[in-house]
Structure 1
Amino acid sequence: MQKAESGVPLQKPESFMKRRKHVFGLKDKAKKRFIHLFVHSGGLLFLISFLLGRALILSTVAPFAAAFFAAVFVMKKEKTALTTVGLLLGATMASMSQGLYAGASIFYFLLFLGILRKLVKRQGKVLPLAVMLATFAGRISITFMYTQTVDSLAIWVAMVEAGLSFVLTMIFLQTVPLLSMRRRRTVLKNEEIICCIILAASVLTGTIGWTLYGLSIEHMLSRYLVLLLALSAGATVGTTVGVVTGLILSLAQIGNMYQLSLLALSGLLGGLLREGRRPGVGLGLILATLLIGMYMHDISGLAPLIMESVVAIGLLMITPSIVTDRLARFIPGTQEHAHVQQQYLRKVRDVTAGRVEQFSQLFQTLSTSFSTHLQKPAQEESDEEVDYFLSHVTEKTCQTCFKKNQCWAKNFDQTYGLMQGTMREMETSETIKDPRLKREWNQHCIKPDRVLEVMQKEMAFHHANLHLKKQMQESRQLVAEQLLGVSQVMGDFAKEIQRERDHHQSHEEVILETLEGLGIEIDQVDIYSLEQGNVDIEMTVPASFEYGEADKIIAPILSDILQETIVLRKEEQSVQANGPCFMTFASNQRYKIETGMANAAKGGAWVSGDSYSAVHLNKSKYAIAISDGMGNGERAHQESTETLQLLQSILQSGIEERIAIKSVNSVLALRTNEEMFSTLDLAMIDLQDASAKFIKIGSTPSYLKRGSQVFKIESGNLPIGILREFDVDIIHQSLKAGDLLIMMSDGIFEGPKHVENYDIWMRRKIKELDTEDPQDIADLLMEEVIRTRQGQIEDDMTVAVTKIAHNHPRWSTFSAHDKKAQ
């Protein structure tokens, strides 16, 4: 390509681009015309029909014509006439008697088909049965026409021919639909593959006797077929094609019996050498030809065999790659088929993720819609409320006053200002306290007491209306936040669906090579995430390890490769005996949690109104919660338990903590008219960085012990269920290894008797603790409180103690490369 002086490549001439487009356009048109003529217009069916009309077994038996005609008649009825012409033309060119037999078989088939459809209830058996009877009748008729007699040998031949036609009909019924390129399925079943091979071999029998420069066309095409399938699908399919094709050709001509061995061995060797692509497959055919040829012939007879194999290899070399690739797509077990399946799964995944993303956008739009109505200015809303209030007052007072026109038409601003000021005064008291305003109001209005009386009555409705509107606004705000939370969760889920494995192929190969270098056999490695702190790797091994190799060797090696501590998360053994084992490796959590709980019901009862929970929300977040239902007993226990269950379900779905708390409060406040409420003390700890969030809704303080220091954690939120809307204060705190977090219900905090300052007493008791075991601390605090009450349990009591510690893996990381070097 020429370059300009500035060094920028010159653009190709427009005429060149037009010629190029014209050439590619001609190629596309030629390709479309070829497909239309050869496939859609029936050219392929005509060629197959012609060759099957000529095909014979043992130079006498011809079971193909009637069977193929019946399959086309049922599956592609519009191509029946073209198929009939092809069958009769091919049979007649072979011999006149074979042409007459083909015509008679087709005639008898149509006759018997019409009769059997009326007599037989199961229509699925009608077609093969009609073909069998037609073949038998046609053979007997033609034999009688030529010989004027039918001996037992002719009857036996007719019976064998009829039996073969019965079987071939069912085979052709599987293959005729596959002759169209308008396919939707991307995989062939094993039965369909075998049926296609039988059809191809049957068609090749129609070329028996044809030669080109002394070389058998039948031999060249059959070897080409074996090479093509061996290259596309491998040794298994190649060997199958060789055996089936060689068997059918051997039955067609006794002299071709050695072809069975030659083709089968060619398919096997060619498939094994498939990694060498076309030259490798061709080498397999040459080796098979030399081996079988030296066994069956002398040196002088090898030349034709080798030339036929060379021609078959030449045909394979000029075959476009698109042919072998498309063939491989339809055959299970090939890389091309696996790639197509991956593309299909990726498409399904993308469609699913797209739908989830659409729902996410829908919820976000709904949230925005709710929020839009909440953005009205407060002053504008206040002015509207004043106008509504004054309109109701004037409707009952000024409308019937004879000075209405004087006040509202001539002195509107003065009247409106006085009534607005009076309304503001009435909001805080029942009378006007401002003497100046009272004097002006009495001078301006002739019925001031009547107006004030109506204002007092309307003020109650006004306050109720304001309260109702505030509740509606708060409900809309909550719904908007909930919809936004659902939108964020669905958006994260859509991203999770779309995570790719292809980008981690290099890491997978490194892991496989490293483990195999240490003598550890691994079937498969799938990396789903390499994000720092969120590594997710799955492995499949032939059988379970007996000595914990996964935890002791594989996890430390992964830690060395990824430069992050990796641990064995899960190990599953196959349900089959000696089956594969599936293992999941993930990032090691930097911190671990140890929790101790102590709980006692009021008066030593079985059921406590307090409930507690400690659960993993996801891979790196841990939650500890205590809820105290109002009162004691079964009802309080049910209230606190439902609060924790609701909260746990919402948090585990991925919704943010603030929205989760408000959602729980909304449900509890709306579900019943009874005054039932619960406190909530929630701590959420991130096990990767030890950061913690504390949400305290009507609960008692919590305490953090760090060495000899004790810190207090508290908040002033009201209990859940009292108000339908409230602000949630979240307290953020960084924790360290060795910290002790102590959470308690009011039965523990306010339980000590004869204590003036509960906070000082609790701090002193926590500071005096000699143990760091969470369960021991919980039991000791419970015991201390009960002792101050002389052994009496005056209220439900719950205490939860959590210890933060570094999470060290059981086995240290080591480098596999260092081991190899040593």
Structure 2
Amino acid sequence: MKNREADDRDEFESILPEYGRRKLLTCAESIRELAESFQETRENREILPEENRNDFLCQRRLFENKNLMAEHLQEMAQIMTDVAQETKSCRPLSVRRVKQIAHAMKEVGVQMKNLYLIENEEGKSEVTICLRNEKRNTLSAEEMGDLLSVLLNIRLVCTGDNPFFVTEEWKTFYYVEEAGYHVLTGVATAVKETEKVSGDNYSFFEMKPGNQTAILSDGMGSGEKACQDSTLVVELMQKFLEAGFPAETAISMINSALVCREESANMSTLDLCSIDLYGGECRFIKVGSACSYIKRGQLVERISSGNLPMGIFQKPDVDMVCRELEDGDYVILFSDGVTDALSQGMGEEILPEVIGSCQLSNPGEIAGSLLNFCIHQCKGRIRDDMTILVIGIWKKEEE
């Protein structure tokens, strides 16, 4: 009887993921149909020229919002479809190998179960394991990751959502293959001389394991209002990306939030830099932002865009550029206040030369040095908020 119950449980566990996928696909299809209903309403409604001008403008704005809603629903449906179709391959471990790992865990006072070695769509290894501390000694998740790295012959690191310690209760721990690069970041800021708070906001975070992302937003104007707008852009962008939304979809939805707010002039720039720490690929996404730079020794490359900030049009214009980074490279992001400061001195064209001649290696010191140069150019008169982000990338040494 017990064997029959175990077989039924195994069958249920194998069916459940497929059931979840089908449910996601069904929800996605329902959302698509809802999106089509918005589009049909817009296409079937005609506005006659003799209608009152205010009514005409109001109706046109309503139809534009409906069309925008339809686009967002279509994007959400596509995200659900992509999640449902996500595939991961489970690498089978022999019974002998599992027993060896369990024995090694037992020696340090830890009991294990449900060990899975997974290969994700990018070909990187992921490990999930359920652990319980039997001896009540202090063992961290990081220490268990080091032990698993030796036992599986894969360099593993903890994900951010792991419990810190292995306790007496069963808990699931997640580990991912260690990336080949690591980064250091630095920031330097200056607030407009007539304001108490900066209209610039920024964030450094991991969008997913093996990724380092930086976001910089400059709100229109200065002070509290500009700070609120740029905070909205940075916080929502980070949340959307961490939730798995494509960057283009996140930008479109945040732009809609800015456009639909009751206050006027809710404009903000967006400067996003996303670095893949496995291969070194760097992706820039720019919406109305100032030029960014890549420093490789004394060579400097400018990454520019010619579009307008978010919050102006229903559909934002997005510029995207990809570059391959190498060991020892630096990525530098500036807010618009830096350009304004340089225009009062030798001009922005001198910036690549200044960056290339910088001999500092610490990203924080580089950011501070560049900010001091900008303040010197404007003779200490800070007429706009200035923010400088610096990311340095290096290859990890083989152990």
* Structure 1 residue aligned with 2:98: 512
* Structure 2 residue aligned with 1:771: 360
* Structure 1 residue aligned with 2:340: 750
* Structure 1 residue aligned with 2:394: 805
Q: Distance in 1 between matches of 2:80 and 2:300?
A: 41
Q: CA deviation at 1:558?
A: 1.4
* Structure 2 residue aligned with 1:100: none
Q: Is the 8 A contact 1:607 1:637 kept in 2?
A: yes
Q: Deviations along 1:95-152, whole A, 9 cap, x unmatched?
A: xxxxxxxxxxxxxxxxxxxxxxxxxxxxxxxxxxxxxxxxxxxxxxxxxxxxxxxxxx
Q: CA deviation at 1:640?
A: 1.0
Give the aligned residue type for 1:573: F
Q: Distance in 2 between matches of 1:475 and 1:652?
A: 26
Residue 373 of structure 2: SS of its match in structure 1?
helix
* Structure 2 residue aligned with 1:712: 302
* Structure 2 residue aligned with 1:354: 22
Question: In 2 relative to 1, CA 718–707 (structure 1 residues): closer, same or farther, beyond 3 Å?
Answer: same
Residue 535 of structure 1: SS of its match in structure 2?
strand
Q: Distance in 1 between matches of 2:42 and 2:321?
A: 27
* Structure 2 residue aligned with 1:729: 319
Question: In 2 relative to 1, CA 678–580 (structure 1 residues): closer, same or farther, beyond 3 Å?
Answer: closer
Give the aligned residue type for 1:638: Q
* Structure 1 residue aligned with 2:176: 586
Q: Is the 8 A contact 1:708 1:767 kept in 2?
A: yes
* Structure 1 residue aligned with 2:290: 700
Q: Is the 8 A contact 2:138 2:165 kept in 1?
A: no
2:365 maps to 1:365: no
Q: Distance in 1 between matches of 2:282 and 2:33?
A: 32
Q: CA deviation at 1:465?
A: 5.5
2:370 maps to 1:781: yes
**Paired residues, number:** 389
Aligned residue among 251, 259, 272 for 1:661: 251
Q: CA deviation at 1:775?
A: 0.8
Q: Distance in 2 between matches of 1:727 and 1:515?
A: 53
Q: Is the 8 A contact 2:183 2:394 kept in 1?
A: yes
Aligned residue among 536, 542, 545 for 2:127: 536
Q: CA deviation at 1:633?
A: 1.4
Q: Distance in 2 between matches of 1:510 and 1:714?
A: 56
Residues 444-463 of structure 1: pairs in structure 2 closer than 5 A: none
Question: In 2 relative to 1, CA 673–636 (structure 1 residues): closer, same or farther, beyond 3 Å?
Answer: closer
Give the aligned residue type for 2:31: F
* Structure 2 residue aligned with 1:451: none
Q: CA deviation at 1:510?
A: 5.0
Residue 554 of structure 1: SS of its match in structure 2?
helix
Q: Distance in 1 between matches of 2:151 and 2:167?
A: 28
Residues 515-594 of structure 1: pairs in structure 2 closer than 5 A: 515=101, 521=107, 523-527=112-116, 529-531=118-120, 532-540=123-131, 542-543=133-134, 550-559=144-153, 565-569=155-159, 570=162, 572-576=164-168, 583-594=173-184
Question: In 2 relative to 1, CA 691–775 (structure 1 residues): closer, same or farther, beyond 3 Å?
Answer: same
Q: Deviations along 1:177-226, whole A, 9 cap, x unmatched?
A: xxxxxxxxxxxxxxxxxxxxxxxxxxxxxxxxxxxxxxxxxxxxxxxxxx
Q: CA deviation at 1:613?
A: 0.9
Q: Distance in 2 between matches of 1:519 and 1:680?
A: 48
Q: Distance in 1 between matches of 2:7 and 2:138?
A: 32
Residue 784 of structure 1: SS of its match in structure 2?
helix
Q: CA deviation at 1:512?
A: 1.7
Residue 799 of structure 1: SS of its match in structure 2?
strand
Q: CA deviation at 1:701?
A: 0.6
* Structure 2 residue aligned with 1:218: none
Question: In 2 relative to 1, CA 619–568 (structure 1 residues): closer, same or farther, beyond 3 Å?
Answer: closer
Q: Is the 8 A contact 2:345 2:377 kept in 1?
A: no
Q: Deviations along 1:639-679, whole A, 9 cap, x unmatched?
A: 11112112222222222211211111111111114223111
Question: In 2 relative to 1, CA 358–516 (structure 1 residues): closer, same or farther, beyond 3 Å?
Answer: closer
Give the aligned residue type for 1:593: V
Give the aligned residue type for 1:702: S
Residue 279 of structure 2: SS of its match in structure 1?
coil
Question: In 2 relative to 1, CA 689–467 (structure 1 residues): closer, same or farther, beyond 3 Å?
Answer: farther
Residue 272 of structure 2: SS of its match in structure 1?
strand
Residue 665 of structure 1: SS of its match in structure 2?
helix
Residues 13-412 of structure 1: pairs in structure 2 closer than 5 A: 325=1, 328=2, 335-347=3-15, 349-367=17-35
Q: CA deviation at 1:461?
A: 5.8
Query: RMSD in angstroms over aligned alpha carbons?
Result: 3.6
Q: Distance in 2 between matches of 1:731 and 1:353?
A: 34
Residue 394 of structure 2: SS of its match in structure 1?
strand
Q: Is the 8 A contact 1:632 1:796 kept in 2?
A: yes
2:64 maps to 1:478: no
Q: Deviations along 1:226-282, whole A, 9 cap, x unmatched?
A: xxxxxxxxxxxxxxxxxxxxxxxxxxxxxxxxxxxxxxxxxxxxxxxxxxxxxxxxx
Q: Is the 8 A contact 1:481 1:659 kept in 2?
A: no
* Structure 2 residue aligned with 1:173: none
Q: Distance in 1 between matches of 2:106 and 2:143?
A: 9
Residue 725 of structure 1: SS of its match in structure 2?
coil
Consecutive unaligned residues in structure 2, runs of 5 or more: none
Of structures 1 and 2, the one scoring higher in RCO (CA 8 A, sep 6+) is: 2
Q: Is the 8 A contact 1:529 1:536 kept in 2?
A: yes
TM-score w.r.t. length of structure 1: 0.43
Give the aligned residue type for 2:8: V
Question: In 2 relative to 1, CA 372–732 (structure 1 residues): closer, same or farther, beyond 3 Å?
Answer: farther
Identity value in percent: 27
Question: In 2 relative to 1, CA 373–693 (structure 1 residues): closer, same or farther, beyond 3 Å?
Answer: farther
Q: Deviations along 1:296-328, whole A, 9 cap, x unmatched?
A: xxxxxxxxxxxxxxxxxxxxxxxxxxxxx3xx2
Residue 203 of structure 2: SS of its match in structure 1?
strand
Deviates more, 1:361-370 or 1:641-650: 361-370
Give the aligned residue type for 2:376: R
Q: Is the 8 A contact 2:190 2:386 kept in 1?
A: yes
Q: CA deviation at 1:779?
A: 0.9
Give the aligned residue type for 1:791: G
Q: CA deviation at 1:808?
A: 4.8
Residue 634 of structure 1: SS of its match in structure 2?
helix
Q: Is the 8 A contact 1:508 1:526 kept in 2?
A: no
More helix by share: 1
Q: Is the 8 A contact 2:79 2:245 kept in 1?
A: yes
Q: Distance in 2 between matches of 1:516 and 1:697?
A: 52
2:239 maps to 1:649: yes
2:261 maps to 1:671: yes
Q: Deviations along 1:608-649, whole A, 9 cap, x unmatched?
A: 111111111222333211111122212211111112112222
Give the aligned residue type for 1:530: E
Consecutive unaligned residues in structure 1, runs of 5 or more: 1-324, 329-334, 393-457, 813-822
Q: CA deviation at 1:337?
A: 3.2
Q: CA deviation at 1:765?
A: 1.1
* Structure 1 residue aligned with 2:222: 632
Residue 676 of structure 1: SS of its match in structure 2?
coil
Question: In 2 relative to 1, CA 371–686 (structure 1 residues): closer, same or farther, beyond 3 Å?
Answer: farther
Q: CA deviation at 1:798?
A: 0.6
Q: CA deviation at 1:802?
A: 0.8
Give the aligned residue type for 2:315: E
* Structure 2 residue aligned with 1:411: none
**The structure with more radius of gyration:** 1
Q: Is the 8 A contact 1:694 1:730 kept in 2?
A: yes
Question: In 2 relative to 1, CA 354–740 (structure 1 residues): closer, same or farther, beyond 3 Å?
Answer: same
Give the aligned residue type for 1:361: E
2:347 maps to 1:761: no
* Structure 2 residue aligned with 1:35: none
Question: In 2 relative to 1, CA 643–597 (structure 1 residues): closer, same or farther, beyond 3 Å?
Answer: same
